Amino acid sequence: MAKKIYLSPERRPAPHGPYFGQPGCYEHDMTTRIAELTVDALTRCGFAAKLAQPAATLRQRVAEAILWGADYYLPIHTNASSATLQEGTARGPEVLAYGSPEGVSWRACQMTYEALMEIYPGKTDRGVRSNTTFYEINSTPMLSVYPELAFHDNAADAAWLVENKSAIAEALAGQGCRVLINCAHSPEKAAKVCSDLRRKGFSADTLLFDITDEAEVHRTIGGMAIDILVNNARQDPYKRPAGMSDGTWFNHLLNVNLTGAYLCAQAVKEGMKRRRWGRILNVSSVQAHIGMEERLLPYAVSKAGMHALTRCLALELGEFGITVNTLAPGMVETENIHNRLSDEEIEQLHSGAEGDDGE
């Protein structure tokens, strides 16, 4: 079941004066349009999104979100530093939070603020601040994040809001996932992936731990609130060290390709169960389903085990709203593929003349 996001833009047609320097443009119109674009973006990403009816009161909106079973409540507002017709000097996004700075709500608000600041052109340190007085914050049992996108009584902020509705919507839709990329080797490549994600407006960081070390796995991710786990670590079946015995090589492949996935799932599943939502994706290979040559036998066995792991976890976790699936791709052309195989060999694999290489 997709996570449910309830969006509640400013409901009053003209709670303040028009946006400074933008005649006829009011907070209700602008936040409603941004909310509509956010719904589109969330839907594209696989979320269920519901937009509050304009005439609904705050109490009606909160009640509707609760009845719908929303996981996340998102009011959308713009700010004003005064009620006069004079231009205000305050600028920039801020996000209103409840709870403690160590809590899940505060972290979600911080992620929202960071996502907005990725696209905001000015400098501000307004950040996240506590506010438990607003009805939509103190009366929502689900996670609630209350962004004040910018100050519409400031000319520069008002222009930014009007001209960047789609970018703001994408930031609001994309901020819900912080991507953590783990690698045991080549941290510079993981850092580059994170950098690419950040340029696209996502929050991303690298980890560096050994997934075959049970204590290290639990120490690193056991206390994290991880909602989505992708197990795609693999040992290249073509890189068997010279002199390594059959048994040692077989166990090494199982540890990296299968045991590591099991340990990571064990480390995060209890948190998913408490939150009653989670997604686990285990990346296998078509080699799990076909007979392979001798040197690829350990790899194929390890990938076949991923399917059993998926079925068992799905049986255990389904009642908690957690889905577990396996993806079994054929050959994926990567840098390693081109380093190891000629164009002719790659073409043979594409045509099915030989089995895939498990990349």
What Rg value do the Cα atoms of the chain yield, rounded?
25
Q: List phi, psi (to 5°) of 76.
A: -130, 120
pLDDT in tens, 53-87: 999 999 999 999 999 999 899 999 999 987 677 78
Annotated catalytic residue 146: no
* Pick from 33-37, 95-99, 126-130, 145-149: least confident: 95-99
User: How much of the chain, in percent, has pLDDT values that exceed 70?
Assistant: 89
Return the pLDDT at 311.
96
Helix (H, G, I), strand (E, B) or coil at 327: strand
What's the whole-number mean pLDDT along residues 10-29?
86
To which residue do tokens 């290290």 refer?
216
From the number of C-beta atoms within 10 Å of its C-beta (0-12, 13-18, 19+), residue 17 rates as: middle
Q: List phi, psi (to 5°) of 194.
A: -60, -40
pLDDT in tens, 227-277: 889 998 887 777 788 888 988 988 988 999 899 999 999 999 998 888 777
Strand partners, 279: 228, 323
Q: What is the 3-state secondary structure (H, E, C) of 208-261?
A: CCCCCCHHHHHHHHCCCCCCEEEECCCCCCCCCCCCCCHHHHHHHHHHHHHHHH
What stretches of 98-226 show up as alpha helix (H) in DSSP?
104-119, 135-138, 155-163, 165-174, 187-199, 214-221
pTM of the model: 0.59
d(Cα 109, Cα 67) in Å, to the nearest integer?
24
Strand partners, 8: 75
186 or 338, higher pLDDT? 186
Given a cut of 50, whether residue 359 has pLDDT beyond it is no
| Residue type at 210 in one-letter notation | D
The alpha carbon of residue 187 and the mean position of all alpha carbons in its chain are separated, in whole angstroms, by 21
d(Cα 58, Cα 55) in Å, to the nearest integer?
10
pLDDT in tens, 158-179: 999 999 999 999 888 875 566 8
Decide: 293 and 251 in contact? Cβ < 8 Å. Answer: no
Decide: 178 and 114 in contact? Cβ < 8 Å. Answer: no
Helix (H, G, I), strand (E, B) or coil at 48: strand
Of the pLDDT bands very low, low, confident and very high (cuts 50, 70, 90), residue 46 is: low
Of the pLDDT bands very low, low, confident and very high (cuts 50, 70, 90), residue 357 is: very low
Question: Which of 72, 98, 120, 299 is flagged as catalytic?
Answer: 299
Decide: 155 and 21 in contact? Cβ < 8 Å. Answer: yes
Of the pLDDT bands very low, low, confident and very high (cuts 50, 70, 90), residue 354 is: very low
Mean pLDDT, the chain, integer? 85
Given a cut of 60, whether residue 352 has pLDDT beyond it is no
End-to-end Cα, the chain, rounded Å? 30
**Helix%, strand%, coil% for the chain, nearest 5:** 45, 15, 40
What's the whole-number mean pLDDT along residues 9-18?
82
Given a cut of 90, whether residue 16 has pLDDT beyond it is no
Of the pLDDT bands very low, low, confident and very high (cuts 50, 70, 90), residue 287 is: confident
Decide: 98 and 140 in contact? Cβ < 8 Å. Answer: no
Return the pLDDT at 160.
95
